[in-house]
Structure 1
Amino acid sequence: MAWVLERTGADGTRYMGVYRDTDGRKRSAGSFTTRRDAQRAANREEQKVLAGTWHDSSHGEITFRAYVETEWLPNKHIEASTRAAYISYLNKHFYPYLGDRRLNRISPSLVQDWVAHARDQGLSPRSIRKYHVMLSSIFARAVKDRVLVYNPCDHTELPKVITRKTRTLTPDEYTRLLAAIPDQHRLMVETLIEAGLRWGELVALKPRHIDFLRRSLTIEETIVEVSKRHSPTGQRYLVKPYPKDNEPRTFGVRQAWLDAIAAYIQANGIGHDDLLFPTRAGTPISRNTFRTRIWLPAVKASGIDYPVRVHDLRHAHASWLLAGGADLKSVMERMGHSQIQTTQKYLHTLPDTDQRNLDALNRIQNRH
């Protein structure tokens, strides 16, 4: 039950409304000139406590950085690689702009200013939206903790993401590109197009993942490369027991690839549990090192007139399968997609697909 305390001083009699918070501690609802006003104020705060809407405004005095590091991040149940990525995002994008500000002083306008600042710094609309999701989750947790009464990210105006039509590597372009890849890395690139793997899945491959009798490949591990500074173990490469969506997948591969891999394993003395494509030191190959030293020079030498990423070989794999008549469901399972919509985006992406449609239409008409 809320109550009133009467205090008499040099400036006369004042009345303070008093109530108990969610932990049973005495709280002041303010000082007033009349008992009635003090009682009303105390009753209002008490009703908030009873309704579960009361929050301790003093908690919001904590800085953004302190709240993230003592409350938000320690309570996130995420993988080590994701945690390392979050720390990198915070250090690069949020701490410089918001780190030392008190949490309850970060307004929607300040968040909007961060968006403008990020755009001026050259961050893409897609990246701004991704980082804004993370920022919003921090404030959403603060609201749940009753540190804040509202999320300042709720009504941010974000830059529009313009989806550009992507080009898919054609078989002819791939042949030219493969010819420009140094011999020692050529089979690795062939594996990307053969199996449509993500980079982390490729560098985690071992002979034990290959079933030569059943002509199949099982993806059950992935390697994530993180900064040593942000790694919880201090290691640059983190091995995850399962790839995306926590479920291994097995799919068929062609005999020609199996023959090439078998000869490669024998020639290099690769053990059953050794990495298939390691560095000379036996460690996983760095994605960025491969990109700068091997991939980009090969793309340039091939004469392909648009930027091609290593990951585009995975896209090409899916597009070629679908263009060749494979069904969506089987391609979805082969690629390890969790939703069919992800696989559908690879339909009709080859430049000659529409011409094949027209050829099919002509064949049907010419029958009659």
Structure 2
Amino acid sequence: MQNIIEEFILQLHTKKDTSSNTEISYKRDLTKFFEYLNIGSIEEIKNITKHDLEGYIKHLSDIGRATTTISRNVASIKAFFAYLYDEEIMKSNPSVGLKAPKIIKKVPEILTVSQVDALLEQPSKNSPKELRDKAMLELLYATGMRVTELITLKMDDVNLAQEYVVCHDRKKERIVPFGSDAKKALVRYITDGREYLLGDNEDSVIMFPNCQGGAMSRQGFWKLIKTYGKKAGIETELTPHTLRHSFASHLVENGADLKSVQEMLGHSDISTTQIYMTSGNKRVREVYAKAHPKA
């Protein structure tokens, strides 16, 4: 069974240029699906019906899986069975018409400005690690970049003189400015901290190495931000994305237009950015109260 899943993943990678995270998720979803059905051969796959697929989706709901998780499983299953049909392994595609649960977009958790300030003050020592951590947190909030973009940042991606960073995703890059606080933290870190962390890996171009001089992992940075959040007394759920959401929300609250925020976040569709224009947004309410004749 794993062979056919691996072939499917390889096809995704070569023809659709999927990300490694997507491939890992699809592989995990499909493995659990077949474990649930207790199926282990191509011949048994051919007997799968739409009723079987709908039964599995119901099972995921019954055991309390989030709608986002169920929707991803539906996407994995639909892509896999479309592949089997295209490769003529199956005579029909049982996943046609399989529906994912409706995902209700929630207003993302954001920090107040005072909470952000408290978080950014936590790495206050002059050790190489805390200088790095301070620079990472300042830059993350200053630019709203994704955690993967942050941990893969290279020295050449940061322009200190003109105060901007080049963020790279899989298909394009974008330029995002940063302010004086982030610049100050970066200068201190590059001057007094980075080379100590690199150790023997002195030729590395990585901006933010881990304590062994290699590339930092996503999990490593998640642990880092949670540790500082706890020290800052932040009791709400705190992830790297929380700072990204806070960056965007604070910009909108202070009058930034959505198109500019969209470009800085790297959203391909402005509807994704519109979640920051909520009725709970203080700035939006103030503008409405001042501008609308019936307010």
State the TM bucket, normalised to the shorter chain: 0.7 to 0.9
SS in 1 for 2:210: coil
Paired residue type of 1:277: F
> How far apart, CA to CA, are the structure 2 residues paired with 1:179 and 1:171?
12
Q: Structure 1-normalised TM-score? A: 0.66
Relative contact order higher in (CA < 8 Å, ≥ 6 apart): 2
- Structure with greater Cα Rg: 1
- Give the number of the structure whose residues are more often strand, by fraction: 1
8 Å contact kept, 1:206–1:272: no
Answering whether residue 144 of structure 2 is matched by residue 207 of structure 1, we say: no
> How far apart, CA to CA, are the structure 2 residues paired with 1:249 and 1:273?
23
Q: Which residue of 1 aligns with 2:221?
A: 290
CA offsets, 1:163-218, max 9 Å, x none?
A: 43333222112122333456412221111101111111111122221222322211
> How far apart, CA to CA, are the structure 1 residues paired with 2:279 and 2:208?
30
> How far apart, CA to CA, are the structure 2 residues paired with 1:198 and 1:330?
17
Cα distance, 1:325–1:163 mapped onto 2, change above 3 Å: closer
Paired residue type of 1:69: E
Gapped regions of structure 2 (runs ≥ 5)? 196-201
Paired residue type of 2:36: Y
> How far apart, CA to CA, are the structure 2 residues paired with 1:327 and 1:282?
40
- Give the number of the structure whose residues are more often helix, by fraction: 2
8 Å contact kept, 1:170–1:350: no
Q: Which residue of 2 aligns with 1:94?
A: 33
Answering whether residue 205 of structure 2 is matched by residue 257 of structure 1, we say: no
Answering whether residue 193 of structure 2 is matched by residue 268 of structure 1, we say: yes
> How far apart, CA to CA, are the structure 2 residues paired with 1:75 and 1:269?
40
Q: Which residue of 2 aligns with 1:55?
A: none
Runs of 4 or more above 6 Å deviation: none
Match of 1:217 among 151, 157, 165: 165
Paired residue type of 2:28: S
Q: Structure 2-normalised TM-score? A: 0.80
Q: Which residue of 1 aligns with 2:10?
A: 74
Answering whether residue 118 of structure 2 is matched by residue 176 of structure 1, we say: yes
Q: Which residue of 2 aligns with 1:29?
A: none
% identical equivalent positions: 25
CA offsets, 1:134-171, max 9 Å, x none?
A: 11111112222333233222233544434433332221
How much does 1:86 deviate? 3.0
> How far apart, CA to CA, are the structure 2 residues paired with 1:121 and 1:95?
17
> How far apart, CA to CA, are the structure 2 residues paired with 1:131 and 1:324?
39
Paired residue type of 1:89: D
8 Å contact kept, 2:158–2:165: yes
